[in-house]
Amino acid sequence: MRSIVPLAAILALPGCGSGPNEVTGSRAVNITEAAMRTRIAALAACPSPLDRLGIGRIAPRVAAATPGSATIRIPAAEDAEGSTIRFDLKPSGESSGLLQVRWTIRISDRAHELDLGEDRLLNPARFGKEIDDAIGDFANYYYEAGQPDQPYARNKQALNKACRKFGRLLDAVAISTNPGLRATVERQKRRDALGWLFADNYRLKTQSPDEAYWETEPDYGGFYEN
């Protein structure tokens, strides 16, 4: 088992930089602010692999303290702020009908990597960029929809994949920042299933941990179906 390495130490290595552990991104999205707030709540509720394995997870929380912003917070042990994804929402010109969405991702510096063996590693230093990619894919769907707040198109495969990725990343952040949850994960007998917790193109095919197995899913569009 690889030794535990705190995220702060990873970021202090040569070439990793020494600034705040933040990643930012933005998109102009074809949606209203009210509808985007609903979509942010939907992101926080994306399917959890830990739930499917019957492991009690640390659920994310959504706060909308001020107009024009919303925050997804993943609680972290010994860190009052936890890990956060803050969204700032601003209309992109009166005539465009677009909403400028900017997000700032901060992973708690209490995060520690977790080695599940066989080259399966939860690496907090990568979480920010991976979350940024998932949010970008999610936002792109609405930009390309063509009409403000357009209902989901019949082919939602890209949106579903982005949501599954976001859900597994929320679980990954929670595991890496909460020692109690981490210990629960490390005690699991089904290490093969846990190893695939963080793979984009696999899905768990069970409601029971005792019957868990995984398969590739090139054509799967199971989440957010009407």
> 42-56 burial, b for 16+ CB within 10 Å, e for fewer?
ebbebbbbbebbebe
**What's the whole-number average pLDDT of the chain?**
74
Model confidence at 221: pLDDT above 60: no
What does the pLDDT look like over 36-63, one tens digit per residue?
888 899 899 998 888 888 888 889 999 8
Model confidence at 29: pLDDT above 80: yes
pLDDT of amino acid 92: 79
Distance CA 43, CA 121 (A): 24
pLDDT of amino acid 129: 93
Model confidence at 19: pLDDT above 50: no
Q: What is the CA radius of gyration of the chain?
A: 18
- CA 127 remoteness from chain centre: 8
Residue 95 is assigned to a structural domain of this protein: yes
Query: Which whole number is the average pLDDT over 88-102?
Result: 82
Query: Which whole number is the average pLDDT over 172-181?
Result: 94
pLDDT of amino acid 62: 93
pLDDT of amino acid 34: 86
Residue 51 is assigned to a structural domain of this protein: yes
The number of folded domains in the chain is: 1
Query: Which whole number is the average pLDDT over 171-195?
Result: 83
Choice between 177 and 165, residue whose per-residue pLDDT is larger: 177
Residue 131 is assigned to a structural domain of this protein: yes
> 136-167 burial, b for 16+ CB within 10 Å, e for fewer?
bbbbebbbebeeeeeeeeeebeebbbbbbbbb
Query: Which whole number is the average pLDDT over 217-222?
Result: 38
DSSP 152: P
Choice between 142 and 39, residue whose per-residue pLDDT is larger: 39
Query: Which whole number is the average pLDDT over 11-38?
Result: 68
Distance CA 164, CA 88 (A): 23
Residue 102 is assigned to a structural domain of this protein: yes
Q: Which domain holds residue 111?
A: 7-216
pLDDT bucket at 220, cuts 50 / 70 / 90: very low
